[in-house]
């Protein structure tokens, strides 16, 4: 990686223009689906979700976003009826030159650890488009397993999950 290490920080209202730009970028839009789009003003303000900005280098250049949400408390019930402790992740690299540099892996490690450490999550779900085979392979390399297809917002997705390993002695 050419720009030192990755740092994660919570998104603020100052990030909304950048988030909108990334959402509509030619390399991002095709893999996040044609749903209604993101209401970033709301997304960064709700208490059941965290939006994190990935930054690199001394200049803290923003390169991507990771969204961690409590799927059992989502008022839209996007994930349906799920047990407490189930969290969902959305992630993408917005800066084209930061793709395939290892930053996505670092971002995923961060949000998984955040789900476990800050929220006592036991299950994490993710829903890449079924056509996004590179993302599916990436998530599998991180320990996610395929649960099967599901239609979200009119798009065929592959639902995947990661489960916290059981603790011994309990």
Tens digit of pLDDT for each residue in 103-161? 999 999 999 999 999 999 999 999 999 999 999 999 999 999 999 999 998 889 999 99
58 near 85, Cβ under 8 Å? no
Amino acid 23: pLDDT: 87
Q: Please identify which residue in the block is written with the tokens 């079924």.
A: 130
Decide if domain 6-124 falls under CATH 3.90.1570.10: no
Q: What is the pTM of this model?
A: 0.90
Q: Residue 50, SS3? A: strand
Domain boundaries, given as residue ranges, for the chain: 6-124
Tokens representing 66 are 């990771």
Tens digit of pLDDT for each residue in 10-26? 999 999 999 999 988 87
33 near 153, Cβ under 8 Å? yes
Q: How far is CA 81 from the centre of its chain?
A: 20
């Amino acid at each position: 990686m050419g720009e030192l290490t990755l740092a994660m920080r919570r998104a603020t209202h100052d990030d909304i223009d950048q988030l909108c730009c990334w959402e509509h970028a030619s390399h991002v839009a095709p893999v996040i689906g044609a749903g209604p789009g993101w209401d970033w003003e709301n997304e960064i303000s709700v208490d059941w979700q965290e939006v994190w900005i990935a930054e690199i280098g001394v200049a803290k250049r923003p390169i991507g976003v990771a969204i961690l949400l409590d799927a059992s408390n989502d008022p839209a019930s996007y994930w349906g009826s799920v047990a407490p402790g189930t969290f969902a992740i959305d992630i993408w690299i917005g800066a084209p030159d930061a793709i395939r540099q290892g930053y996505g892996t670092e971002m995923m490690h961060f949000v998984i650890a955040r789900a476990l450490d800050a929220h006592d999550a036991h299950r994490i779900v993710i829903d890449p488009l079924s056509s996004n085979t590179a993302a599916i392979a990436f998530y599998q390399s991180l320990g996610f397993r395929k649960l099967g297809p599901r239609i979200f917002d009119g798009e065929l997705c592959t639902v995947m999950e990661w489960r916290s390993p059981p603790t011994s002695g309990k």
